[in-house]
Chains A and B, each alone.
Chain A
Amino acid sequence: MFGQVVALDHLSLDVRPGEIFGLLGPNGAGKSTTVGVLTTRVKPTAGVAWIGDHNVWENRVAVKRLIGVVPQRPNLDFALTAREVLTFHGAYFGLPAAERETRADALLDRFKLTDRAKNMVHGFSGGMMQRLSIARAMMHDPSVLFLDEPSAGLDPQTRLLLSEMVREYNARGKTILLTTHNMEEADDLCHRVAIVDHGKIIAVGTPQELKRSIPGGFLLRLHFESASGTLLDAIRRLQGVTEVRGGGDGQVDVYADHGGTLIPSLVAAASSAGATIRDVHISEPSLENLFLHHTGRSLRE
């Protein structure tokens, strides 16, 4: 399929049991291929993948029992109703009939699909299909849940429901691996994140660690009555400041190694330049900044 393109290039990562792990990267970075390899759907040309004690390629059936997969594009069985999608999925995994029914009802309720349970899936909206896909992946109670770009194209409400469900499932001791190109989502949901680009891992760590790892990761946005050249120079000379950008409307963006602790010296610098601060906003270092720092490109590109 991929011709000579190397989709994954010496990518190596270790997801711990019970964590929510995120693969963050732009489209085409190799996130879905990584998920494909881990879920038995893509045969790697080299290398090994393990789920628990099982080598994924050697022991596909055992691996399939342990995992639940929510694909990037909904692949629901269009010949069935929403409820049947769940009950047949349960049957494929050998759940007894009574348990299939109870679980299907509980999941339909949890994902707010009860009133559509008897409808054929092909009339469903994107958000409903996505909800049903997640419910299906949870149906056999897998230890590891894979979500490939779960929030792409979802409305904010469904996105909230999704985060809630992911956290809830994780709270039951389950491991979750999700891919996203949305840094807020990775930051908000994941315990640890790997940043992927061109099939390689650029950095791995908790969102906090990652964000702290780059110098000048904090952004302080200041508003003055007016911002003179003298003022900007005074700020530039402060310790820990890496970059200062002044706007004509009195807005000054200060990139620095630390946030709140810089305020006293900023105030001092302002008063010595005869300026008054009207407003301060401090933003924590973001994964977006990190990606930019490592690749010179924005995640959204």
Chain B
Amino acid sequence: MNVTTFWAMLMRDAHVARRNFMTLAFQVLLQPMLFVFVFGRVMTTSGFMPPQYKNLLLPGIIALSMVFTGTWAVTMPLISDFQFTKEIEDRLLAPIELEWLAVEKVVAGMIQTLVAGFVVIPTAWLVMGGVELSTDHVAWFLLLALLVAMLASTLGLVLGASVGQQQVGLMFSMVLTPMIFFGCTYYPWQALASFPIVKRLVLVNPLVYASEGFRSALVPQFPHLPSIAILGCLAAFDAAFLLFGLRQFKRKALT
């Protein structure tokens, strides 16, 4: 691996992200803020939802924002680069192995994901007003944030190197939308107790472990999956997505 080239490519991505900061900020913040406002503020203030729902909702919103920011940040540029603009070719011709270029994309996506997570937390907290978050598990929370960032980014690599321009719409309706609704973002996994089949099926959704994980770190008083299952599954998804993503990337990069 060539550290100089890797670093230069990371700097390029950082430079472009800084240039598009406002667009990115809207992209990251708007949807979760709307959601937080309607469900965390309107529904609880009006009494249709108990006030504790805010506490339950916030970790799910963090998970959702992180996963979608990271996936989007990696997937969309890759799709257009490979299919249309061929922009990435200048980096495919840089003196570094193709795998490391893919890893650079993953690292850049992880950084964006982490930034998104750390921006969403205080903003959502302000919008909802008075959420009680536990600060007893900070290290666990940071470890989870790292794993979730990698999950988002590697999933982005898999999708970006596999999905064609024509299938972007399909990717949203077939992959991302079900992921959101069955990702235990708006409800804990335990809430699916009356739907035993769904409860088992959703376990293939990596977002479940992100939401449940953040719940276990920030609001441990609510039911959540055991920590070991969260850790193991997140790590397994990260590894699987990374390996599969690298393979797809190499295939796409070479003709």
Residues of A within 8 A of B (CB): 1, 36, 39-43, 60-62, 64-65, 67, 69, 71, 73, 75-80, 84-85, 88-89, 91-94, 136
Contact = CB atoms under 8 A, between A and B. Distances in A.
Residue from A42, A43, A73, A80 with most neighbouring chain B CB atoms (10 Å): A80
Nearest to A71: B89
Nearest to A60: B97
Interface string B1-45: 010110011011001100110000000000000000000000000
B254 A41 contact: yes
B97 A78 contact: no
A156 to B, nearest CB: 27
Contact of B94 (A43, A78, A93): A93
B165 interface: no
B16 A40 contact: no
A94 B94 CA distance: 10
A78 B87 contact: yes
A78 to B, nearest CB: 6
Chain B interface size, under 10 / 10 to 19 / 20 to 34 / 35 or more: 20 to 34
Contact of B95 (A42, A61, A69): A61
**What are the nearest 10 A-B pairs in CB distance?**
A91-B8, A92-B94, A75-B86, A75-B89, A94-B4, A79-B16, A65-B95, A64-B95, A1-B255, A88-B12
A62 B19 CA distance: 33
Contact of B255 (A41, A67, A77, A80): A41
Given A64-B95, A69-B93, A93 B5 contact: yes
A84 B254 contact: no
A28 to B, nearest CB: 15
A75 B8 contact: no
A64 B19 contact: no
Residue from A67, A76, A91 with most neighbouring chain B CB atoms (10 Å): A91
A42 B87 contact: no
Contact of A42 (B8, B88, B254): B254
B177 interface: no
Contacts of B86: 71, 73, 75
A243 to B, nearest CB: 44
Contacts of B20: 79
Nearest to B94: A92
Contact of A61 (B2, B85, B89, B91): B2
Given A61-B95, A93-B5, A94-B5, A36 B255 contact: yes
Interface of B: 2, 4-5, 8-9, 11-12, 15-16, 19-20, 85-97, 254-255
A41 B91 CA distance: 12
A16 B86 CA distance: 31
Contacts of A93: 5, 94-95
Given A79-B19, A88-B8, A61 B254 contact: no
Contacts of A75: 85-90
A136 B16 contact: no
B21 to A, nearest CB: 13
A91 B89 contact: no
Contacts of B9: 92
B16 A80 contact: yes
Given A41-B255, A91-B11, A76 B94 contact: no
A64 B19 CA distance: 29
27 contacts: A1-B255, A36-B255, A39-B93, A40-B93, A41-B92, A41-B93, A43-B254, A61-B2, A61-B95, A65-B95, A67-B93, A75-B86, A75-B90, A76-B87, A78-B85, A79-B19, A79-B20, A80-B12, A80-B15, A84-B15, A88-B12, A89-B94, A92-B9, A92-B90, A92-B94, A94-B95, A136-B90
Contacts of A78: 85, 87
Contacts of A1: 255
A191 B224 CA distance: 73
Nearest to B100: A61
Contact of A92 (B5, B97, B254, B255): B5
A69 B92 CA distance: 11
Contacts of A64: 93-96
